[in-house]
Structure 1
Amino acid sequence: MESTRLWAGKEDAEDPLAAFRAEFALPDGVIQLNGNSLGPLPRTVPGALDAVVRRQWGKHLIRGWFDDGWFDAPERVGDRIGRLIGADPGQTVVGESTSVQLFNAVAAAARLRPDRRVLVCDAANFPTDRYLAASVARVLGLRLVECTAGELAAVLQAHRGEVGPVLFGAVDFRSGELLDLAGTTARIHAAGGIAVWDLSHAAGAVPVEVDAAGVDLAVGCGYKYLNGGPGAPAYLYAASRHQAALDLPITGWHGHARPFEMAGAFEPADGITRARTGTPQILSLLALEAALDPLERAGVAAVREKSLRLGDCLAALVRELPAEIRPEVVTPTEHHRRGGHVALRCPDAPAVSAALMERGVFTDARPPDLLRLCLNGLYVSYTDVFDAVAAFAEVAAAGSGERRAKGER
Structure 2
Amino acid sequence: MITLEQVRALDAADPLRACRERFALPEGLVYLDGNSLGALPRAAVERQRQVVEREWGRDLIRSWNSHDWIGAPQRVGAKIAPLIGAKPHEVIVADSVSVNLFKLITAAAALSPKRPLLLSEPGNFHTDLHVASGATELVPNLRLETVERGRIEEALGPDTNLLLLTHVHYKTGERFDMARVTARAKDSGALTLWDLSHSVGAVPLQLNRDGAELAVGCGYKYLNGGPGAPAFLYVAEHLQERLMPVLRGWMGHAAPFAFTDEYVPAPGIARFLAGTPPMLSLLALESGVESFEGVDMETAWAKSTALFDLFAALVEQRCAGHGLDCVSPRDPGARGSHISYRHPHAFEICQALIEAEVIGDFRAPDVVRFGLTPLYLGYEDIWTAIDRLVDILESGRWREPRFAVRGKVT
TM-score of the superposed pair, with normalisation by structure 1: 0.95
- How big is the alpha-carbon RMSD for the aligned residues of Structure 1 and Structure 2? 1.5
**Structure 1 position 201 matched with structure 2 position 201:** no
- Give, in angstroms, the shift of residue 347 of structure 1: 2.4
Structure 1 range deviating more: 145-154 or 271-280: 145-154
Contact conserved, 1:349 with 1:365, CA < 8 A, in 2? yes
Distance in 1 between the 2:161 and 2:298 partners?
33
- Tell me which amino acid in the other structure corresponds to 2:264: E
- The aligned counterpart of 2:408 is none
**Structure 1 position 261 matched with structure 2 position 250:** no
- The aligned counterpart of 1:275 is 272
Q: Which runs of 5+ in 1 are unaligned?
A: 404-409
Contact conserved, 2:33 with 2:370, CA < 8 A, in 1? yes
- The aligned counterpart of 1:406 is none
Distance in 2 between the 1:92 and 1:236 partners?
6
Distance in 1 between the 2:395 and 2:186 partners?
51
Contact conserved, 1:122 with 1:169, CA < 8 A, in 2? no
Contact conserved, 2:392 with 2:398, CA < 8 A, in 1? no
- The aligned counterpart of 1:170 is 167
Secondary structure of the residue aligned to 2:161 is strand
Query: Residue deviations 1:200-259, cap 9 Å, x none?
Result: 000000011111111111001100000000000000100111111111111111111111
- The aligned counterpart of 2:3 is 4
What are the residue-to-residue correspondences of 1:2-401 with 2, within 5 Å?
4-141=3-140, 142-156=142-156, 160-399=157-396
Q: CA 1:67 to 1:123, structure 2 compared with 1: closer, same or farther past 3 Å?
A: same
Query: Residue deviations 1:250-285, cap 9 Å, x none?
Result: 111111111111010110011111111111001100
Contact conserved, 1:121 with 1:145, CA < 8 A, in 2? yes
Contact conserved, 2:122 with 2:148, CA < 8 A, in 1? yes
Query: Residue deviations 1:349-375, cap 9 Å, x none?
Result: 111111000100000011222111111
Distance in 2 between the 1:218 and 1:50 partners?
32
Q: CA 1:12 to 1:105, structure 2 compared with 1: closer, same or farther past 3 Å?
A: same
Distance in 2 between the 1:262 and 1:362 partners?
49
TM-score of the superposed pair, with normalisation by structure 2: 0.95
Higher helix share: 1
Percentage identity across paired residues of the two chains: 42
Contact conserved, 1:318 with 1:326, CA < 8 A, in 2? no
Secondary structure of the residue aligned to 1:319 is helix
Distance in 2 between the 1:84 and 1:245 partners?
25
Distance in 2 between the 1:162 and 1:402 partners?
52
Distance in 2 between the 1:6 and 1:311 partners?
18
Contact conserved, 1:24 with 1:43, CA < 8 A, in 2? yes
- Give, in angstroms, the shift of residue 105 of structure 1: 1.1
Contact conserved, 1:325 with 1:393, CA < 8 A, in 2? no
Contact conserved, 1:204 with 1:226, CA < 8 A, in 2? yes
Secondary structure of the residue aligned to 1:72 is helix
Q: Which runs of 5+ in 2 are unaligned?
A: 401-410
- Tell me which amino acid in the other structure corresponds to 1:239: A
Secondary structure of the residue aligned to 2:341 is strand
Query: Residue deviations 1:50-98, cap 9 Å, x none?
Result: 1111111111111100110100000010111111100012111101111
